[in-house]
Amino acid sequence: MLRSLLIFVLAVLLLWALCLAALYLTGRRSAARALATFLPDTLVLVRRLLADPALPRSRKLALVALLAYLALPLDLVPDSLPVIGQLDDAILTGLTLRFVLRGAPTGVLAELWPGPPEGLAVITRLASAH
């Protein structure tokens, strides 16, 4: 089981690297950068949202609960199940960000997003925060 998981992770990383290379080689360097930095940028966004005094306490509590859920080894769907095990984490993350950003002051997402505009467009669409 561990070997299968390792092979899956390596395959996903290889596919990700191939996508980055394809974007870069076709001249879409800004899209490649956005894809490469999306996860770190999202983590910085969460940290900045937690530190933002204008964000309501209930929204910060939702972010803390999400981080605790992602850090704990117990999940609704075990991560040992390929794809579907990570899918519940992704869905919960999207729903939580949607809840947090809809309760945030207008413009806070654009103000706190550390990455390129392409990444901001993706996170805005995922969270449906207009």
pLDDT tens over the chain, length 130 residues? 667 767 766 776 777 778 778 877 888 777 777 777 777 888 888 899 999 998 999 999 999 998 888 777 777 777 666 667 777 777 888 888 889 988 888 788 889 999 888 888 877 877 765 4
Which tokens sit at 57?
A: 């306490």
CB 95 within 8 A of CB 129: no
Cα of 29 vs its chain's centroid, Å? 21
Compute how many other C-beta atoms are within 10 angstroms of the C-beta atom of residue 41: 19
Domain ranges of the chain: 2-127
CB 99 within 8 A of CB 59: yes
